[in-house]
Amino acid sequence: MAEVIPQIRNAVRALIIEDDHVLLLKKDGYETGGVRYALPGGGQDAGECLEDTLQRECLEEIGTAIRIGDLIAVADFLKLRDTTPVTRRHVMEFLFLCQVPESYRARSGPEPDKHQVDVVWMPMDNLPTIQLFPQYLSSCIPNYRNPERPIYLGCFKDEGFPA
């Protein structure tokens, strides 16, 4: 088992849905190959509020300010790191339901995420068929409207993606 580095990091993600499509970062260029998708968002800096982090990350990655709504999920995520020996980073992930301005068109922002090649509106029905990172989001996102959904999703280990 990979060692977990001792510092826990907070991260935020924006769940942006319009007409049964979810806004995703499209990523490519991994050594293991294949296209992956992720929600906009990223790591919180020291002294930065979660909402400020989410605004900063969305401006950088999707090129627009967002309207932040409810916190809809929290999860522990043990993310694999590309280190020798292999280690994991413990990330506390906070998922917020958000909206983009009505005039927004999917595009990369001025400081795209590593490996980010595009921003796309993905049909919700396609989520089970794509490599979504972290993988636990593929079962969480379709359930976002359910008032009985759990807020704390549990602890998930990044097992990587197949080559």
pTM (2 d.p.): 0.92
Whether 163 is covered by a domain: the verdict is no
Whether 129 is covered by a domain: the verdict is yes
Residue pLDDT, tens place only, 38-71: 999 999 999 999 999 999 999 999 999 999 999 9
Note down the domain range covering 118.
3-157
Whether 134 is covered by a domain: the verdict is yes
Whether 42 is covered by a domain: the verdict is yes
Whether 162 is covered by a domain: the verdict is no
Domain CATH for 34: 3.90.79.10
Whether 51 is covered by a domain: the verdict is yes
Residue 156 contacts by C-beta under 8 Å, 6 or more apart in sequence? Answer: 75, 76, 77, 78, 134, 135, 136
Q: Buried b / exposed e across 18-36, counting CB within 10 Å, b at 16+?
A: eeebbbbbbbeeeeeeeeb
| pLDDT class of 81 with cuts at 50, 70, 90 | confident
User: How many separate domains does the chain show?
Assistant: 1
